Amino acid sequence: METMTQTDIRAQLAASKQMGTLVEVHDFDPAGDTFDVGFVLAMDELFVLLLGIDWDGKINGLTAIRLSSIHRVRSQTDYLTTVSLKCKVAQENGYFDLWKLQDYLHSHDYQGKNLLRTLLEDSYQNDLPLVIGTKKYKGSDDFIGVIADLGTIKLTLHYFNSHDLSSLWEYEILLAQIDYLRVRGTQTATARKILDQVFHEE
């Protein structure tokens, strides 16, 4: 698939936000086999914020993606038509918004804000788990945990490995190396349960 210019990517994201339509954001592999799906909520100079939607048509959290890592943005695809119809089924049957994010967004406006800093501070101040993807490990691994310390240049994350729950691990991450961030959704709810039940991080 052809890679879009940053100008075209920003324009497509802005148009999707204005129209309130679902988009595919291809930010993993150039072949386009792995991508994020969601509604565009906000965009700053470095990141776009999506209300993420999973394959079952449910809201699965907030996802911030570094704009420079995006290869292309697609709309009005057959895949998005399928997901959109699944969203309608989820809404009709009461499982579209399990995490109450629509209510949350009514009282939290991300327009005109530093998206990365705002999301990190929310997670840090409220002791909320988050998922961090970095440039170094993108496409192969990400980190799930809680922020132990948040500075202006870097953060310290206490994270766990799902295949080795013997201990929490510590990792320093430069903010400039963060490629994507997921908060307030399915992955982080699961992480909260693991942290509470396994590591007693209540």
Neighbours of 165 (CB within 10 A): 12
Q: Is the pLDDT of residue 202 over 70?
A: no
- The per-residue pLDDT for range 5-16, each reduced to its tens digit, is 999 999 999 999
Q: What are the DSSP calls for the chain, one per residue?
A: -PPPPHHHHHHHHHHHHHHT-EEEEE-S-TT-SS-EEEEEEEE-SSEEEEEEE-TTS-EEEEEEEEGGG--EEE-S-HHHHHHHHHHHHHHHTT-S-TT-HHHHHHT---TTS-HHHHHHHHHHHTT--EEEEETTTTTT--EEEEEEEE-SSEEEEEEEETTEEEEEEEEEEEGGGEEEEEESSHHHHHHHHHHHHTS---
Rounded Cα–Cα distance for residues 110 and 119 (Å): 9
- The per-residue pLDDT for range 132-188, each reduced to its tens digit, is 999 887 766 789 999 999 999 999 999 999 999 999 999 999 999 999 999 999 999
- The per-residue pLDDT for range 59-95, each reduced to its tens digit, is 999 999 999 999 999 999 999 999 999 999 999 999 9
Q: How far is CA 111 from CA 3, 48, 62, 81, 130, in A?
A: 27, 11, 14, 27, 21
- At residue 174, the pLDDT reads 96
Structure pTM?
0.94
Mean pLDDT across 101-127:
96
**Where does the chain hold its CATH 2.30.30.100 domain(s)?**
6-106, 115-197
- At residue 117, the pLDDT reads 97
Please, which pLDDT band fits residue 201 given cuts at 50, 70 and 90? confident
Mean pLDDT across 193-201:
91
Q: Is the pLDDT of residue 2 over 90?
A: no
Rounded Cα–Cα distance for residues 11 and 34 (Å): 22
**According to CATH, what is the number of the domain 6-106?**
2.30.30.100
- The per-residue pLDDT for range 33-66, each reduced to its tens digit, is 789 999 999 999 999 999 999 999 999 999 999 9
Please give the CATH topology (third level) of the domain spanning 115-197. Answer: SH3 type barrels. (2.30.30)
For a pLDDT cut of 70, what percent of the chain falls above it?
96
Q: Is the pLDDT of residue 1 over 80?
A: no
Please, which pLDDT band fits residue 3 given cuts at 50, 70 and 90? confident
Rounded Cα–Cα distance for residues 91 and 143 (Å): 31
Residue 183: HSE in the Cβ half-sphere, 13 Å Cα cutoff: 22
Q: Is the pLDDT of residue 31 over 70?
A: no
Instruction: Provide the token pair at 96.
Output: 């579209």
Q: Is the pLDDT of residue 30 over 80?
A: no
Rounded Cα–Cα distance for residues 187 and 143 (Å): 11
Radius of gyration (C-alpha) of the chain in whole angstroms: 17
